[in-house]
Structure 1
Amino acid sequence: MVQASLSPAAPKPDHVSDALVYDFDIHADPELLADPHARILDMLQSAPPVFWTPRNGGGWVILSHAANYEASRDTETFSSEFVPPEQMKALLASLPPGAPHIPLPVPITLDPPEHTKYRQPLQKVFSPKTIAGLRDSIRALAGELIDAVKADGHCEFMSAIAEPLPVQVFLKMLGLPLDRLPEYRTIVKEHMEAIDSDRAGSMRRLQRIAAAMRDVVLDRKENPQDDIISMLWKIEIDGQPTTLADMENYGVLLFIAGLDTVMNGMGLAVRGLAMDPELQRKLRADPKLIAEASEEMLRRYTFTVPMRIVRKEVELAGAKMMPGETVKLFLPAADLDAKEFPQPDKYDLDRENNVHIAFGVGPHRCLGSHLARVEIQVLYEEVLARLPEFRLDPENPPVFHGGHVMGIESMNLVWDV
């Protein structure tokens, strides 16, 4: 288990009743780090559906499906603009001439209508048709990674398969050099771990990400290739040609999302398979079930926790929230809410009305969900086709991490050869 220190406790605001306080640290809660989704199932029983925690700077955590659904769609109240546009424009205008651009991961840091203006050009890049064209290359890479460990009878799954598969796919899509993968992963990991503890340093970290990509971004303007960066240079935003600032804004968003998120979903899902030999046998016997199986796995092991900031006084599920307070949309809990999903802890391949929100809901629904689905389904198909029945190594249990993208640091699988 990853050992982490609890963050300092922030003072409780006067308007928060004692009944709504629940001590939970999204990065360092010991039970979360022991088994994330077991801890979440416990919280759904023991914590209010919306609670205030003194950890991670103090703020609200939304557990229930209904409250997450409502907050995700109400962008006027629960805003993604942690720095209001007017304030950001004033900040940028105050910078001395020649100062480096401060990139913002648009469009997730914007609310409609500005959000729509910047999201629309990305829709084509991540359309189902575009992503479907990648399926064969994803399958080839998955097969190559699995075959490299098959004869060993064991592997550390995260480093051998779950990380290199989606990260290499995404670096190739973006047009970034594969040999810099370790450097890129380090930058993203540092950024994700510091989101709550060092919000002030966020702009500095985003500048570092932009700097790591800048040489490629500039080259693609003059020498376009068949990649996303080249495509983005050709689009228009609100009728205007793309600028370097726009490219860096898009770049930091795609960089963070592509290099961290999907690998965690893969790890959690394959752990679920490793613990369920009967399911493995069922899917090997009928691979057509794998698409449905991956949707139930996404529900059972949802892993992202988006952030919002309260813009106006509101009451949600009995909790009074005030402007300026932070909110964590705890989607992993929403998809384990018994009011929405009967027997939520049960992996049910025949579950009806499995409308999970693993990719979010509302205007900010994950733009890369088509890609994530294809990668996860292809991985399932190739793992089940190429490996014999696999299980968790009892001598080396999985090590988990919390945070805004929960997942697995390391997971040792074994199989008979």
Structure 2
Amino acid sequence: MQSNPIPDHVPPGFVKDFNLFTSPGMAPTPNGDPHAAVASVHGGAPIFFSPRNTRDGRGTWVITRASDQRKVLQDLETFSSHRSIFSSALGESWPMIPLELGPPAHGVFRALLNPLFSPRRVEALERIVRQQASALTDRIARSQTSCDVMKDFAYPFTANVFLGFLGLSDSRSDMLLGRVSDLLHGNEVTRTAAAQSIVEFIDEVAAMRRKEPAADFMTFVVQAHIEGRSLTNEEVRGIGVLFLVGGLDTVAAAIGFDLAYLARNPNDQELLRNEPDRIVLAAEELLRAYSTVQMIRVATKDIDFEGAPIRKGDYVSCATMISNRDPAEFACPDTIDLARQDNHHTAFGYGPHLCLGAHLARREIVIGLDEWLARIPTFRIKDGTAPITHGGHVFGIQDLILAWG
């Protein structure tokens, strides 16, 4: 019996039993390939209704064509991003900013925060980012011939970059990583506790920077003004939470999928090792092929969208891992071509809500790969081990044990 009722307005012909959490290939699986699993939808209808495509089992319309996803993501008036995903876990309703704001507030906050993540600002941060990557890879290279990449490198690297952006030491890294993991991958109890702990951390840092200003991200936020006023406590919190949650898991997952690919493809690994100038282009192709984020929008009015009867309040899924395997957009989309040109992927979203931290995320990924390849000898997945991959709102990989020597 169907456990998730299908809304009356959804015709039976539009219903497909699919979701990004537990469909074959996307549940936690040794050596799984969730990206190939989602790519299979391109053999069917361009839009369908999945009764179970969210963590809570709520149904969504699934948009498979990249061109259709761009239409949805560009239209803020019809497809809203305001869901209070994080705060709802605490029984509250403040938005993550600017992601969950609509116009005109979205534009106001976007204009405020854009300079913090501009290419020039990211270039200025590169020294700190490279220091973090080189310190971690040096430690691994000196003392080990294998490691759990996610625990020993990818997650500590992204957490330390975040803490450095806040002007804090690495001592809080383990705490942050544990809370983000519980939030994104735990059960209802652990997610609520993790959300509360993250809020407390952001509030603590904000309070500290109000008393002790420094040349860092949080000081800028607590001292900022919009429309002639200071930001409220909830607005400061919403900005800090988005940067924390959005910046840690997604970038770490990207690095993990990239290193897993290179471990399985020694020729490409050797190419990037011998010609590091290719890493920037290769990173874009790996972002396309191993995109990690599903974006959910909420219909603000009834609309027949490309033949689908979407009604006000319906959830609409724009999964980057689907659009970036669209054969109408990319030649041989399931083939990883590290020299692919004109790679107009949407791994960081599209339209007005294009990821604010995309420039920083790109530099973290490129620098992480560069430092890893410069210090770690030819590596492979350790014999007798198998990385676990999983789907979800953010695709991920764990138990990725690499060995060398």
What TM-score, normalized to structure 1? 0.87
Judge conservation of contact 2:96–2:238 (CA < 8 Å) in 1: yes
Secondary structure, aligned partner of 1:44: helix
1:251 correspondence with 2:243? no
Q: CA separation in 2, counterparts of 1:206 and 1:171?
A: 18
1:127 correspondence with 2:118? yes
Q: Which residue of 1 aligns with 2:70?
A: 69
Secondary structure, aligned partner of 2:351: coil
Secondary structure, aligned partner of 2:398: strand
Q: Which residue of 1 aligns with 2:37?
A: 39
- 2:346 pairs with one of 342, 352, 357: 357
1:51 correspondence with 2:51? no
User: How much does 1:382 deviate?
Assistant: 1.2
Percent of residue pairs identical: 34
User: How much does 1:102 deviate?
Assistant: 5.6
Q: CA separation in 1, counterparts of 2:76 and 2:192?
A: 23
Moved more, 123-132 or 248-257: 248-257
Q: Which runs of 5+ in 1 are unaligned?
A: 1-7, 92-99
Secondary structure, aligned partner of 2:380: strand
What do residues 152-193 of structure 1 show as CA deviations (whole Å, max 9, x unaligned)? 221110001110011110112023453233332333333334
Q: Which runs of 5+ in 2 are unaligned?
A: none
Distance change in 2, residues 1:395/1:43 (3 Å)? farther
User: After superposition, where does 1:10-409 map in structure 2 within 5 Å?
Assistant: 10-33=4-27, 34-45=32-43, 47-55=44-52, 56-82=57-83, 103-150=94-141, 151-176=143-168, 178-193=170-185, 206-409=195-398
Q: CA separation in 2, counterparts of 1:258 and 1:350?
A: 26
User: How much does 1:273 deviate?
Assistant: 1.4
Judge conservation of contact 1:104–1:206 (CA < 8 Å) in 2: no
Distance change in 2, residues 1:401/1:11 (3 Å)? same
User: How much does 1:237 deviate?
Assistant: 1.4
User: How much does 1:31 deviate?
Assistant: 1.4
Judge conservation of contact 1:102–1:203 (CA < 8 Å) in 2: no
Q: CA separation in 1, counterparts of 2:68 and 2:350?
A: 12
User: How much does 1:104 deviate?
Assistant: 2.4
Distance change in 2, residues 1:204/1:109 (3 Å)? farther
User: How much does 1:278 deviate?
Assistant: 1.1
Moved more, 165-174 or 30-39: 30-39
Aligned length, in residue pairs: 391
Q: Which residue of 2 aligns with 1:97?
A: none
Moved more, 359-368 or 119-128: 119-128
Q: CA separation in 1, counterparts of 2:192 and 2:148?
A: 34
Secondary structure, aligned partner of 1:384: helix
User: How much does 1:101 deviate?
Assistant: 8.0
User: How much does 1:206 deviate?
Assistant: 5.0
Q: CA separation in 1, counterparts of 2:68 and 2:221?
A: 36
What TM-score, normalized to structure 2? 0.90
Judge conservation of contact 1:103–1:206 (CA < 8 Å) in 2: no
Distance change in 2, residues 1:182/1:27 (3 Å)? farther
Q: CA separation in 2, counterparts of 1:316 and 1:410?
A: 41
